[in-house]
Every structure is written in C-alpha cells, then in structure tokens.
Structure 1
Amino acid sequence: MADGIASTPPELVDQHGRRKRKLRLSVTDRCNLRCAYCMPENPSWLPREQLLTIEELLRLTALFVIQLGITNVRLTGGEPTLRRGLPELIEGLQLLRPRGLQRVSMTSNATRLAELAPALKAAGLDDLNISIDARDPALFQKLTRGPIEPVLEGIAAARDAGLPFKLNAVVIRDYNDGEIESLAAWAFEQQVEMRFIEFMPLDNAQQWSRERVVTESEILQRLGTRFGKIEKLPRSSASPATEYLLGGKHRLGIITTVSDPFCSSCDRVRLTAVGELFACLFSARGSKLRDALRGGESDAALLTMIRSGVWNKEAGFAAPRGYVERPITMHRLGG
C-alpha cells in the first residue's frame, strides 16, 4: 500500500483542467474471443512475467486512490476473468474503501461468469459492463469466433449472483449494424440497460473509416421507429453515455465518441497490464510505471510520474477528430 497517507488527496488534473476520478485498470491482455475492432487477427500474448503482479496492481491502485483522489476503479483487459487471482485482487481493493475508493467495477465478455460470478460478488465487485455485439448466434460466432451460449449463461449467472450490469455493443456499419433493433429488444425484455458505442478510430489495422460509424442520430432514428417516443434524460457526469428513455419505459445509453465527443469532461486514466499509464484513450504513448516500480523507485517518485503523465494529457479525440495511429491495440490498453 502507499506510503504517507494523505488526509485530503490533492486533485489529479490535466493541463485542460479536467479532474480525474476514475482508473481503468487492465489486468491482462489475453482474451478468449477475437473481436476485429479490438485486436489483431492473430494476437501474440505478452509474457506473464511482464504483467503486473497482484501486489503491484494493488500498490499502484493505492497511490491513485489514497494520494490522488481516484474514487472508481474498473477492471478491464483483454478479458479480465482470464487473470489468475482476480477475486484476490478485488478483495485487496476493498481495503481502499475507507481511503476513498467508492466503486469497483469490471468490463467482461461474460464467457466465464457462469463459474466466477458468485466469487466475484463475494470478493466485493460492485457491477459489470458486459460486451455483446450481436444477439444472433451465427453472427456472434462470425464476429468473435466464439459461441454465444457461454455469454448468455454468464449474463444469467451475474443476475443470479446479484451483480448489477449493463450491456455494451460497439456498432459498426456492415459488421453488426443490422443487430441494433434486435439487441435493444432483447435487452429490454431482460429489463437491462443497453448501451451502443460508436466505432472509434483506434485499431492499428486501419479498419476504421467515418463511413463505418453508425452515429447516435441514426441509432435513435431506427430505435424510435421500433419502440416509439424517445426522451433524453439528464446527463450524468458519472457516465460517458447519453441516456434516453424509449417508449416511456426502456432505458438506453449511447456513447458518442465520434459524433459528439465528451473529451472536455473526461475524468478517466488507464493503466495497462504491464504498468504503462495512458492518460487518454487516444494517446500514442504512455508512462512506464512498471519499470520504475520494479527499479525500486519510491512512492513519491511514482506519484511524480503519474502527475506528469496526466498533466500532459491531450485534449482528446475532440481535437484531431480522425484516425489515430498508435503502437498499442485495445486488448492491451483496456477498454
């Protein structure tokens, strides 16, 4: 844990005046699905010794919470349920609750939740975002190279374990845009909030183009035709999604990274599974905290690196509004 606990953590801010409250903590680059927008067709996994240990993850997270005022931690990957010791990590994070940590969440493809959901709930996990880009079994298999049945079983297990969750789908034209209505209808039948995410220009295979982006306005037009009146709900500073009520009863979220960027209010930073800090999802490079950590640097030195890396955070996608070339893909950076 962090040395020298601060009674009132100083704010972690960037040069644009945005305060950071949320840490996306990647615990592995490995995944058992193969979504094209997230990773190369034939990914190579990082050697396990390069990944931060559970103890290193806890030490760095303690710095973010105790010394820098981070209140929310979201575990990501890759697929985080593939990480050994995941329940122990979540249990360790509970020690930070009295120090300011308010929420421990996770983003998952749900394929292993059937066996892990009760243990994750018992360890202290608060909630989940579950990724599902198609409801049609054949299309899901084509998109992910995996069957949909374990995902559906995992969703049921999360519900049975009492873990609140939302469903996420990245929408890409000529990929899965034909699933918008059926995914929403299925989610609404389950009484679960569905969130659609605009396709972001982040993959290193350069698959992105503006023509493949299905925008918020198009999504709403299609869903309005199917479900009726659309009511925009007050925007929550805690969520990247713009939320709507469809037909007077169905809750829907849309993350408008491309058509209406929310970079000006971004309160997130990301730490990869190998300990590299990315202040922005669109950053081309990060700060290598693992090397400093394993080199014996003090907490004070690590804090200086974190503050410097975050202070120099770019304005975000709202500034360049185009394809971002970078050496890291989403399965290594974390969603």
Structure 2
Amino acid sequence: MNQVDYLRISLIDRCNFSCQYCMPEGAELDYILQQDLLTNAELLTLIKEVFIPVGFTRFRLTGGEPLLRRGVVELVEQIASFPQTKDLSMTTNGFLLAPLAQNLYDAGLKRINISLDSLDADIFNQVIGNKGLTSRLKWESVWNGIQTAHDVGFDPLKLNVVVIPGVNDHEILDLAALTIDKQWHVRFIEFMPIGNGDLFQGKGWISSAELRQQIRTKWGLTESQVCGAGPADIFRIPGAKGTLGFISQMSDCFCDRCNRIRLAADGWLRPCLLNETGQIDLKTALRSGVSTTKLQGQIQELLTVKSEINFKQRESGTTTGNYSRTMSQIGG
C-alpha cells in the first residue's frame, strides 16, 4: 500500500456542464448551500493544521467545476505558499480556463488536467449535455483553454477522456494522436456506474485493454518509462512526445496503489471513491470547536483502515452497482 499523501479537494459541487458520466440527465441534484460549503479560511485551516501535519503534501483541486469557485486564484496562491506543499494541481472542464490560465500558473498551479471527451463539437455537446451556447462555441472555448494552458507552460498537461460506448469510442485513435506531436498526456478512463445507472446499463463500458489494442494495431505501443503513483497505466506511441494513460477502475483493481482521499466541498472526508465507510464530517467538527489535533487523530485512524475500506467494495462485487451520488457530488 502506498503512503497516502494526496488529497483531492472539491471546491464546489456545481458545474457549467452536465456531462453524462458526472451529472446525468434526470439525476436529482441537491446542491450544497453557500453556508454549507467550506469557506476558504476553513479549507486553509484544514490543509495547514490537519492534513499537512499527518503527512499530506500533494493537493488537487476539483469540483464540480473548480473555476466557478469565487477567489480560486487566491486560494491556489495560498495553498502553494505552504512550504510543505510539494504538488498542487487542478482538474477542470477548461471552459473558463483561457482567461485564468496565466494567473493560475503565476499563483503556483503547475499541473492541470482538462476534460476533452471528443474532438467533434456535436459529440462533445452530446456528452456535456448543455443547452444555450452552440456546440462549436463550447468546444472552441475548451480547446482554447487547452491551447492557452499549453502556451502558459503547464507541464504535464493532461487531457482526460471518459470513453462512452456508442458516443465517443470511435474517436480513440484521433484522441491518441494528440500525443504524437505535442508533449500532451491523454488519459482514457473507463466509464463508471456512479449516479448514472440507467445510462451505464444501456451502454456498458469498454476495457482499457481493448483501447490499447486499437492503438497498438495503428502505431504500436510501448510501456512508458514515465510513471507515477496515480491510477493510470502509462504507455507511449513509439516516437511520440506525449504519453497515453489508461485508468482501468472497472477492469483492473488498483486499490493496492491508491494514495489519495477525497474532501468534498461540504467538508466530508471520504477515503474511497466507491465506499463511504469511515467518512468524517470535518466541517461540522471544525465549526463546533473540535481541536485540529483531535481531527489529526481521526484522520490518522482512518488512514490505518483505508486499505480494508478500498477493497471492501471490490470484494463484495458491487463496483458495477448504481450509486445514488453523482461524480460531481463526490468530488471527481
């Protein structure tokens, strides 16, 4: 089991997209009221006085869409300023990124993941499920955010692709080709049944092994020397500048190398994406005067049983079940 030193922090549960795999149509979403969100001050207190003292040094800002959070640039700057912060990154849909990219980079954000589920504007619009703006305008805004992030200097720049059968699976080779001439890292993610059971049962999922075979047949594929502690298995098209990552949570259990826990926007700390066992309500504890020292102890205790919690869902065979919470509510 890896050392758990990586905290995914959801800044907000709202989003300007309604992606099929994250906020599916028809899902009942009870958005967190403003007063129930962790404030910036509370979040910084938890990071500095609770998480860092128990060994957390790597932080990722997620959502919902984190760029909707008021004061997000200042928040990045404050987290980056802690001397113990070894890594600070963000996952975003990229729609609001272009005008903020330079400020975020200057504030201390150096790594960024951007969702790009299609290179076709109409298919992209089908995935994100939004109405109002035209398909082309939404896709171009995201593409502009990607290009701007690249120009600003974000490295690595990762593009996340959730592969949905019958929707975008025919674009695998086109998306993989983005890694050939640019030092971009495309990560294919198996479609998961989280809050989208009806859609999932209708479409199912495509394994990473099948995706790799498609790419291998076209160009060849080698395991990359670039690797990390995350869930992706890394490969490279021979001669490509970037890499391909495959996140295989449906076909291959990677619980044994999970090094992260998740803090939701309302202050609930969850040890596992697929299991709420052991979750801690840090916001209520903090607001009711529980000492940060006591909270440190609670988190340390949770970390000692995280491995068991991770595997419990796998061993019970419920990983293909229908979870009532959507991905946006969990925090990515």
Judge same fold: TM > 0.5, yes or no.
yes
1:115 is aligned to 99
Deviation at 1:326, TM superposition (A): 4.1
Please show how residues 228-267 of structure 1 align to structure 2 within 5 Å.
Answer: 228-234=219-225, 236-249=227-240, 251-267=243-259
For structure 1, list consecutive stretches of 5 or more residues without a partner in the other structure: 1-16
Deviation at 1:204, TM superposition (A): 5.0
Letter paired with 1:264? D
Deviation at 1:272, TM superposition (A): 0.3
SS at match of 1:193: strand
Cα distance in structure 1, aligned partners of 2:166 and 2:50? 41
Query: 2:180–2:239: 8 Å Cα contact kept in structure 1?
Result: no
Deviation at 1:184, TM superposition (A): 1.6
For structure 2, list consecutive stretches of 5 or more residues without a partner in the other structure: 131-137
Cα distance in structure 2, aligned partners of 1:265 and 1:64? 23
SS at match of 2:122: helix
Please show how residues 204-223 of structure 1 align to structure 2 within 5 Å.
Answer: 204-209=196-201, 212-223=204-215
Of 318, 327, 330 in structure 1, the residue corresponding to residue 327 of structure 2 is: 330
Please show how residues 27-176 of structure 1 align to structure 2 within 5 Å.
Answer: 27-41=11-25, 43-96=29-82, 98=83, 100-146=84-130, 147-164=138-155, 165-176=157-168
Query: 2:194–2:326: 8 Å Cα contact kept in structure 1?
Result: yes
Letter paired with 1:61? I
Structure 1 residues 204, 172: CA separation in 2 closer, same or farther (over 3 Å shift)?
A: closer
1:280 is aligned to 272
Of 172, 191, 199 in structure 2, the residue corresponding to residue 180 of structure 1 is: 172
RMSD: 2.1
1:6 is aligned to none
Deviation at 1:63, TM superposition (A): 3.4
Paired residues in the alignment total: 316
1:7 is aligned to none
Query: 2:123–2:167: 8 Å Cα contact kept in structure 1?
Result: no
- The share of aligned pairs that are identical, in percent, is 38
1:319 is aligned to 315
Letter paired with 2:282? L
Cα distance in structure 2, aligned partners of 1:33 and 1:187? 26
Cα distance in structure 2, aligned partners of 1:60 and 1:163? 27
Cα distance in structure 2, aligned partners of 1:240 and 1:209? 24
Letter paired with 1:151? V
Letter paired with 1:120? L
2:296 is aligned to 303
Cα distance in structure 1, aligned partners of 2:43 and 2:141? 28
Letter paired with 1:301? K
Cα distance in structure 2, aligned partners of 1:79 and 1:244? 28
Letter paired with 1:248? G
Cα distance in structure 2, aligned partners of 1:210 and 1:284? 26
TM, length-normalised to structure 1: 0.88
SS at match of 2:98: helix
Deviation at 1:18, TM superposition (A): 4.6
Cα distance in structure 2, aligned partners of 1:64 and 1:101? 13
Cα distance in structure 2, aligned partners of 1:247 and 1:167? 19
Letter paired with 1:197? I
Cα distance in structure 2, aligned partners of 1:117 and 1:303? 34
1:198 pairs with 2:198: no
Query: 2:235–2:245: 8 Å Cα contact kept in structure 1?
Result: yes
Deviation at 1:40, TM superposition (A): 3.7
SS at match of 2:59: strand
2:133 is aligned to none
Cα distance in structure 1, aligned partners of 2:143 and 2:181? 14
Query: 1:272–1:332: 8 Å Cα contact kept in structure 2?
Result: yes
Query: 2:235–2:244: 8 Å Cα contact kept in structure 1?
Result: yes
1:271 is aligned to 263
Letter paired with 2:141? P
2:135 is aligned to none
Deviation at 1:179, TM superposition (A): 1.7
Cα distance in structure 2, aligned partners of 1:73 and 1:30? 20
